[in-house]
Amino acid sequence: MLDAYADRWALITGASSGIGAEFARRLASRGMHLILTARRKSMLESLAEELHTRHGTKTEIIVGDLSDPAEPQRLFEAIQAKGIAIELLVNNAGFGWVGTITETDPTRMQEMMRLNNQALVDLSYRFLPAMLERGHGGIINVSSVAAFQPVVYMPVYAASKAFVLHFSEAMWAESRDRGVTVTALCPGTTQTDFFDVANVPGWLKKHRSSTVEQVVRAAIKALERRRQVVVPGWQNRMMAFLVRIARRKMVVLQSMKFFRPRKKDDSSAK
């Protein structure tokens, strides 16, 4: 599947923190050179310095906002200009939002769909053909356990991750006999800054929360085993299974209890 880790190049989007940064650390420890992209330049530079100090691998930084429709093409062309062949693409960039219908900004939801879906599709179709031609390579698309069900108060996020899951599975089937694996990573609650950006209720941040190390370790193992989907954690896997056999009405109504937005005057959210 992967020709090798050492001296090959990986592209990681949303690499400045959380799961993306952990992918960078884990892959650099295996000898991969990295292209890191995100909006926050200072955090990327700090991570690149850390990786060089610890592992001596090459790191290229390309600052950009993938919610801009023109950015995936610009990123692709910048990498092509460097003469770098991408062996592994990690589509990690994305964000979520929890809120009622009346307090949700439609423009922000469009931005979410461009980042969570449009950019991921664009980059996949730009880099995958070269992998297929070489007969080796891989893509990890970061979805979510929310992809397995509709979620009240975060319908756009859950739907965007369902798109990522279905897209990845279809790409996996088409690519698997040509030496390339596409894996959908579907983590549950994870210890990242996602919760601060998404306005998720504070108690959920601590509820069965995985570490980024656990999530990334599971993702790489699944890629190496050529699996199309990985759901880290047995509790998350159980939930993903149960929502598929439960009545859809019950599933979506139950989600209201877990994702009800924080009230501004709620002292428990401080």
pLDDT of the residue at 236: 79
* Strand (E) or helix (H) holding 20: helix 18-28
On the CB side of 201, how many CA atoms lie within 13 Å of its CA? Answer: 17
- Assigned token pair, 265: 């005057």
Is 58 designated active site?
Answer: no
Q: Where residue 145 sits, what CATH number does that domain have?
A: 3.40.50.720
**Residue-number span of the structural domain to which 29 is assigned:** 9-269
Picking from 79, 82, 172, 167, the residue whose alpha carbon sits closest to that of residue 127 is 79
If one counts the domains in the chain, the total is 1
Token pair, residue 18, equals: 């959380």
Given 5, 58, 125, 161, which residue is catalytic? 161
Is beta strand 33-38 parallel, antiparallel or unpaired with respect to 9-13? Answer: parallel
With a cut of 90, say whether residue 38 has pLDDT above it.
yes
Choose the catalytic residue: 5, 58, 157, 263: 157
How does residue 204 score in pLDDT terms, banded at 50, 70 and 90? low
In this predicted structure, the answer to whether residue 105 has a pLDDT above a threshold of 60 is yes
* pLDDT top residue among 106 and 252: 106
**Overall average pLDDT of the 159-182 stretch:** 98
Residue 1 lies in a domain: no
Query: Which of the 8 DSSP states describes residue 190?
Result: B
- Residue corresponding to tokens 């990327």: 44
Active-site annotation holds for 153? no
**Nearest one of 90, 178, 80, 170 to 136, comparing CA atoms:** 178
pLDDT score of 36 more than 90: yes
pLDDT tier at 265 (50, 70, 90 boundaries)?
Answer: very low
Q: Model confidence at 184, in pLDDT bands (50, 70, 90)?
A: very high
2 is a domain residue: no
Which residue type sits at 67? S
Whether the predicted model's global pTM rises above the 0.85 cut: yes
Distance CA 115, CA 134 (A): 28
Mean pLDDT of the chain: 90
141 and 89 Cβ atoms separated by less than 8 Å: no
* Domain membership flag for residue 3: no
Least confident of 86-90, 140-144, 206-210: 206-210
Amino acid at 255: S
pLDDT confidence of residue 270 = 27
Of the candidate ranges 40-44, 144-148, 206-210, the one whose mean pLDDT is the lowest: 206-210
Q: Which residues neighbour 24 within 8 Å (Cβ) at sequence distance 6 or greater?
A: 12, 15, 34, 36, 47, 51, 59
